[in-house]
Amino acid sequence: MADLYLKALESERKRLWAECRLKGLAKGTPERVRIEELDGLLAEHKAKSAK
């Protein structure tokens, strides 16, 4: 079965990263901070599902 939570996190991260690249946003902007949060959530979720 597809992991919809994981797909949603990855999709949001991909969208934000594309927006940051397009606009040339620097570190510390809300979008870049959210990407860092998503990276943490993704790592946590993958570690939990690997058990």
- Range from 1-5, 6-10, 35-39 carrying the lowest mean pLDDT: 1-5
Considering only CA atoms, give the Rg of the chain.
12
Which of 35, 27, 45 lies closest to 11, judged by CA?
35
SS3 27: coil
pTM of structure:
0.87
Q: What CA–CA distance (Å, rounded) separates 21 from 41?
A: 21
Per-residue pLDDT, averaged over 39-49, amounts to 92
**What's the confidence (pLDDT) of residue 2?**
67
**What's the confidence (pLDDT) of residue 49?**
85
Per-residue pLDDT, averaged over 17-30, amounts to 94
Across the chain, mean pLDDT equals 92
